[in-house]
Structure 1
Amino acid sequence: MKRTRAFAIAISAVAAIALAGCSNGQEAGNAPAPQAPASQEQAAHNAADVTFAQGMIPHHQQAIEMSKLVPERSQSQQVKDLAKQIEAAQGPEIQTLTGWLRDWGAEAPSTDHASMGHDMGDMGGDHGGMGGMMSADEMKQLEQAKGAEFDRMFLDLMIKHHEGAVTMAQAELSGGQFPAAKQMAQQIIDTQQAEIDTMRTLLSQS
């Protein structure tokens, strides 16, 4: 009898613990679910981040359009290699920037060349904070050049273009909030400043 009674007490204790666990689980279930880290990160952005993304998309797109002119017009293998490098780096960045804007509920500039056309050049100068953008006339002149003339013009214009991107990236570092955007900004500064140095060297050799 004592053994039977002890067993019954043990069973009751286990049942009580299980009920308590269920009760606590139900209470926890009624509490608001914590946000996933990714969701918190998506919310941690400000106006500077949006400006950076919206400005850098067309800026990158123009650099890609410039680079696409290189294979048929350049006579320098170094310039051709540089153009490939620019396309390889900036294409994926455009996709990432577009995704951020979509997540933030902000408008993303079109990257369709047919819709943007060469009017992209009209955003030259400091319009919208996008320094270094080529004008429509400059784009036309670049399209018409070939050989050594093309290479010199491409390098000169791309240096200015890169300098504009570096300035935009520095503004993001100082005023932005979104961690991944600030990381991209630093990457743009590092990469494009190195390319600027390379292009200046190539110009000095031409």
Structure 2
Amino acid sequence: MRNTRTLTRRAVLTAASVTAALVLAACGNDSGSGSGGDAGGDSSASSSASAGATAGAHNAQDVSFAQGMIPHHRQALEMAKLAADRASSAKVKDLAARVEKAQDPEIKTMSGWLRSWGEDVPTSSDSTAESMPGMDHSGGSAMPGMMDGSDMDELEKASGADFDTMFLTMMIDHHKGAVDMAGTEKSKGEYGPATSMADDIVTAQTAEMTEMNKLLGKS
């Protein structure tokens, strides 16, 4: 399944590269709208919850959401950091910076939840498709949207317009996975700050996917 997905992604990248390069080259330096997840709201909610929260204030889904989304976010940060010196488009660099700004605080917030619940916080070594803890994916062994080692190696080796196209294509896939995970938390989670963050992730990352598709020349 991984080979099929990788081959499909490479075919999409090849087909999209010329169009994406032209669209990205034509883009100005204006920034898009703000990105994913208001960590400030989570911080205030977390502090108020700590005053009266008990073990019953959250459920297993909340734990799975945090333990899964932390490594998922970490991989997004790894991808975003590569854009600083590899991307050729100012639009791509701006998007990557906004991904970092939104998701790094969310990682800290979710880590705090897990510690307060007495649960394990995933380590940085968990940020691969093969080692994701937490959520049940109904027959799939990897987190939705996560890149494997070969995907990340390809992105790291790319530069210029090729990087831009690869980054956008991979990040759209990554965002789709995060939205899927957040949707599960919204429907099954119990902890208010976690379901609120999940809602923020769905809203912000859906908007970013629209933005990235436009940069790739897709409607």
The TM tier, using the shorter chain, reads 0.7 to 0.9
Aligned match of 1:183: 196
C-alpha distance in 2 between matches for 1:41 and 1:137: 42
Q: Is the 8 A contact 1:123 1:134 kept in 2?
A: no
Give the AA of the match of 1:120. T
State how 1:2-41 maps to structure 2 within 5 Å. 38-41=50-53
Aligned match of 2:173: 160
Aligned match of 1:146: 159
C-alpha distance in 1 between matches for 2:120 and 2:162: 39
Stretches (4+) displaced over 6 A: none
Larger radius of gyration: 1
Give the TM-score normalised by the residue count of structure 2: 0.70
Q: Shift in Å at residue 71 of structure 1? A: 1.1
Matched, 1:122 2:143: no
What is the CA deviation profile of residues 89-145 of structure 1, one whole-angstrom value per residue up to 9, with x for unaligned ones? Answer: 00000000000000001111013xxxx28x7243489435x2000010000000011
Higher relative contact order (CA 8 A, sep 6+): 2
SS at match of 1:171: helix
Q: Number of aligned residue pairs: give it.
A: 164
Matched, 1:108 2:121: yes
What is the CA deviation profile of residues 146-195 of structure 1, one whole-angstrom value per residue up to 9, with x for unaligned ones? Answer: 11111000000000000000000000000000000000000000110010
Q: Is the 8 A contact 1:123 1:133 kept in 2?
A: no
Aligned match of 2:107: 94
Q: Is the 8 A contact 1:74 1:148 kept in 2?
A: yes
SS at match of 2:120: coil
Give the AA of the match of 1:77. A
C-alpha distance in 2 between matches for 1:146 and 1:89: 24
Give the AA of the match of 1:122. E
Q: Which runs of 5+ in 1 are unaligned?
A: 1-35
Superposition CA RMSD, Å: 2.0
State how 1:55-94 maps to structure 2 within 5 Å. 55-94=68-107
C-alpha distance in 1 between matches for 2:49 and 2:170: 42
Q: Shift in Å at residue 37 of structure 1? A: 5.9
Percent identity of paired positions between Structure 1 and Structure 2: 49
Which has the higher mean CA deviation after the structures are superposed, 119-128 or 75-84? 119-128
Choose the corresponding residue for 1:132, options 140, 145, 155: 145
By percentage of residues, which structure has more helix? 1
Q: Structure 2 vs 1, CA of residues 178 and 140 (structure 1 numbering), >3 Å: closer, same or farther?
A: same
